[in-house]
A = this chain, B = another copy of it.
Amino acid sequence: MLGIDPGLTRCGVGVVEGLPGRPCTMVAYHVVQTDPGEELPLRLLRLDQELTRLVAEHEPASVAVERVFSQHNVRTVMGTAQASAIAVLAGARVGLPVQTYTPSEVKAAITGSGQADKAQMTSMVTRLLRLDAPPRPADAADALALAICHIWRGGTRSKLAAAADRVRQGGTR
């Protein structure tokens, strides 16, 4: 599963392997950065190229993107909304299912509380993925949390169902 925490200046990407109800394993994380001094078309183009490359590199079964909310700072929300469109498109364009989650859905899935703060989230992600140190920067932890949430919320369910069908039909995998 590939999780994307959208941002125009810093966009977190987390790749996690796992099945619902089982421990997850971190595959990789990345932060795509674009220069705020650069023009918007170049920033969006760079984000598109990097996210498209990471999706092709990791070949996830599906993509989870954090849903943008309007109650945040209105200026930054515009850039975040634009980055989220590019993130959703990077998955949809290659035919992957793309699911969006609100920040509180992700927090609730990871910590049990929709009100968890950044430190609690980072600490839980570090524990859940059995990492030696917290992922840095925080954008990466958020993206990994999204990927874990997506796995636990059944993002892999259709894959499992398909595998179960194959077993029932006498296949080996």
Residue in contact with A41 in the complex, picked from B68, B81, B83, B92, CB distance below 8 Å:
B92
Residue in contact with A78 in the complex, picked from B81, B92, B93, B97, CB distance below 8 Å:
B81
Tell me the dominant secondary structure on chain A's binding face. helix
Chain B residues near A128 (CB, 8 Å)? none
What residue in chain B is nearest A80 (Cβ atoms)? B81
Residue in contact with A83 in the complex, picked from B44, B70, B85, CB distance below 8 Å:
B85
Residue in contact with A89 in the complex, picked from B45, B68, B84, B92, CB distance below 8 Å:
B45
Residue in contact with A40 in the complex, picked from B77, B86, B88, CB distance below 8 Å:
B88
Q: Let me know if A116 is at the binding interface, CB within 8 A.
A: no
Q: Let me know if A163 is at the binding interface, CB within 8 A.
A: no
Which residues of A (78-104) have their CB < 8 Å from a CB of B?
78, 81-86, 88-89, 91-93, 97-98, 100
A89 touching B86 by the CB < 8 A rule?
yes
A88 to B40, CA, bound (A): 8
Chain B residues near A98 (CB, 8 Å)? 40-41
Copies of this chain present in the complex amount to 2
Interface residue tally on A, bucketed by range: 20 to 34
A40 to B100, CA, bound (A): 9
Q: Let me know if A17 is at the binding interface, CB within 8 A.
A: no
B78 touching A68 by the CB < 8 A rule?
yes
A44 touching B88 by the CB < 8 A rule?
yes
Q: Let me know if A75 is at the binding interface, CB within 8 A.
A: yes
A44 touching B82 by the CB < 8 A rule?
no
Q: Let me know if A74 is at the binding interface, CB within 8 A.
A: yes
The interface of chain A, by Cβ under 8 A from chain B, is 40-42, 44-45, 48, 68, 70, 74-75, 77-78, 81-86, 88-89, 91-93, 97-98, 100
